Amino acid sequence: MTLASDPRRRVPRTDAVLAEPQIAIAVAQLGRPLVKEAVGAAQDRVRSGEIAPEAVVDAVLDALPDIAATLRPVLNATGVLLHTNLGRAPLSPAARRALDVAAGTCDVELDLATGGRGPRGRGAVDALLAAVPSAGAAHLVNNGAAALALVATALACGGREIVIARGELVEIGDGFRIPDLLTATGARLREVGTTNRVTPADYADAVGPDTAFVLKVHPSNFVVTGFTRSVEVRELGGLGVPLVVDIGSGLLAPHPLLPDEPDATTALTHGATLVTASGDKLLGGPQAGLLLGAPGDGAELVGRLRRHPLARALRVDKLTLAAMEATLRGPATPVREGLDVAPAALHARASRLAELLRRSGVPAEAVETDATVGGGGAPGVALPSAAVALPESFAAALRAGEPAVLGRLERGRCLLDLRALPAEADDTLAAAVLTCRS
C-alpha cells in the first residue's frame, strides 16, 4: 500500500464532517461539543483502519445519543410498579405534555389578566384539594422528606418534643433514617411504646407542655407480625396537640387491592391535623412532597408552613407544578393502570409474547408470577401477574440493549414481568429479546 492509497491519509476534516446536513442537525439538537467528540472518535477509527473514510458520517450518527444527557430509557419488566432505581412513577402522557409547556416561558407566577404577579402553583394546589376533598389546605415541597423536615422545623425547633412510637423510627432506604431527619431540625424525640407494641395511653402519657406534635409514620417497607399492637389515627384525637401523619406512598384515597395502605383522605377524616406524603409513588406524579391540612387548625398550619423561611429552599419548580397538576387532573396514570390491570389480561399478553418468541427460536415460556408495589408502598402485598421466562443469560444482554430492558432473576431464569409495562410496549419488548438472540 502506497502512502497515496492509505485510507488513513484520507481522514475527512472535522469542519467538513460537521458541515454535513445530518451532522448539522445533530449539532442543533445535541450541541457542538458532544457531536465534535463523536467526530473525533470516528476519525480515530479511520486512522486505525477499523472503518473506511466514507463511513465517518454514519459512524458519528450511530454513536450519538438521542438526547444531550446520559439518561437512557429502560423498559421496567421487574414486576415492581415503583422501582426506585428506575425513577419510581413513570409520568402519564398528560403530565409529559404539561412538561413541554412548562419547559418554555409560561405563566407560573403571572396573572395574565392584570399583568401583575400571580399565585405560584395555584393550579397544582387546587387540583390536589379537588382530589382530597377532606383537606382544607395544601402545599407542595420538593420531596416527602422535605415535607416532614418543614413540619419539624416550623413546629419543633429549639428543642421541642415530637412524640413518636419506637416502632416507627424507621430507615426507609439508602441509609436514610426518620429519627436522623427529625433531630437534624433541632427537635427532640419522645419515644413511646416498644418496638412491637404501643397503646393510646403511651401517647397520652407522653404529651406535655414541651410537645410540638404527635407523629405517626407509616413503616412503608417492612411488616411486623406476631405479638404486635399499633395505634390507629382515630385513636389519637383529643390530645391537645397537632397530629401529623406521614403516609409515605401518596395514596390519596383507599384502594381495594391495598386495604392496609394508609391514604390521605382516611387519615384526615379520622382526625389527622396534617398529612405528609410523596408525590412520585402511588399518586403516580413527579417527585414532590405533599402537605395536606384538615379544615380549621390543619389549614392554618399549612398556611404557617407555606410562609416559613425554609419553605423557599424547598420550593418546587415550574416543571413539577405542571406535571403534578396534569397528573391529578388527567386520565389514569401508568402506576394506577399497572395496579388495576386484570391478571387475565397479563396472562394473555405473556402467552402471546412467548409464542411469538418461540416461533423465532427463543426458548420462552409464559409463567404466573407475583408483582409488588415497590417504592416503600404496600409491603408484603403480592399482586398476581404474568411474565415471559427466558434463560438467565438474556438478562445482561437485555440491559445492554437499546432500549434497555430490566427484568428479574428468579430460580435460574430471567423473568420479564408485564404488570409494570403497558400493553403498547409488548412489541418493543419482543424486538429487544429478538435482538439479543441474534
- Whole domain around residue 34: which residue ranges? 7-63
pLDDT of residue 380: 82
pLDDT of residue 1: 45
Q: With respect to residue 1, please indicate whether it lies within any of the assigned structural domains.
A: no
Q: What rounded mean pLDDT belongs to the chain? A: 93
144-171: pLDDT as tens digits: 999 999 999 999 988 899 999 998 888 8
Q: With respect to residue 69, please indicate whether it lies within any of the assigned structural domains.
A: no
Amino acid at 371: A
Q: How many residues are given for the chain?
A: 438
Q: Are 430 and 353 in contact (CB under 8 A)?
A: yes
Regarding whether 279 and 420 lie in a shared domain, the answer is: no
Regarding whether 280 and 403 lie in a shared domain, the answer is: no
Specify the long-range contacts of residues 339-347, CB closer than 8 Å, at least 24 apart. Answer: 339/81, 339/255, 339/257, 339/258, 339/282, 339/373, 339/383, 340/257, 341/419, 343/384, 343/385, 343/386, 345/423, 346/384, 346/385, 346/386, 346/418, 346/419, 347/386
Regarding whether 295 and 178 lie in a shared domain, the answer is: yes
Pairing outcome for strands 171-173 and 80-82: unpaired
Regarding whether 161 and 47 lie in a shared domain, the answer is: no
Q: With respect to residue 218, please indicate whether it lies within any of the assigned structural domains.
A: yes
Grid cell, residue 40, equals 473525533
Amino acid at 411: R
Looking at the predicted structure, is the pLDDT value of residue 3 above 50? no
Regarding whether 270 and 220 lie in a shared domain, the answer is: yes
Regarding whether 54 and 151 lie in a shared domain, the answer is: no
Q: Are 385 and 56 in contact (CB under 8 A)?
A: no
56-107: pLDDT as tens digits: 999 999 999 888 888 999 999 999 999 999 999 999 999 999 999 999 999 9
pLDDT of residue 228: 78
> What percentage of the chain has pLDDT greater than the value 90?
84
Regarding whether 414 and 345 lie in a shared domain, the answer is: yes
Domain end call among 331, 347, 366: 331
> What percentage of the chain has pLDDT greater than the value 70?
97
What average pLDDT does range 271-293 have in this prediction?
97
Q: With respect to residue 68, please indicate whether it lies within any of the assigned structural domains.
A: no
Structural domains of the chain, count? 3
179-230: pLDDT as tens digits: 999 999 999 999 999 988 999 999 999 999 999 999 999 876 667 777 778 8
- The Cα 301–Cα 316 span in angstroms is 19
pLDDT of residue 221: 62
Regarding whether 231 and 103 lie in a shared domain, the answer is: yes
Highest mean pLDDT pick, 3-7, 156-160, 319-323: 319-323
Looking at the predicted structure, is the pLDDT value of residue 2 above 70? no
Q: With respect to residue 83, please indicate whether it lies within any of the assigned structural domains.
A: yes
pLDDT of residue 7: 60
328-361: pLDDT as tens digits: 999 999 999 999 999 999 999 999 999 999 999 9
The CB-side HSE value for 180 (13 A sphere, CA atoms) comes to 7
Regarding whether 166 and 205 lie in a shared domain, the answer is: yes
Contacts (Cβ under 8 Å, ≥6 apart) of 189: 161, 162, 164, 169, 179, 182, 183
- The model's pTM is 0.89
Q: Where are the beta strands (DSSP E) in 250-364?
A: 274-278, 289-293
| CATH number for the domain that contains residue 110 | 3.40.640.10
pLDDT of residue 70: 85
Regarding whether 43 and 127 lie in a shared domain, the answer is: no
Q: With respect to residue 2, please indicate whether it lies within any of the assigned structural domains.
A: no
Q: Is the peptide bond before 403 cis (omega within 30 degrees of 0)?
A: yes
Pairing outcome for strands 188-192 and 161-165: parallel
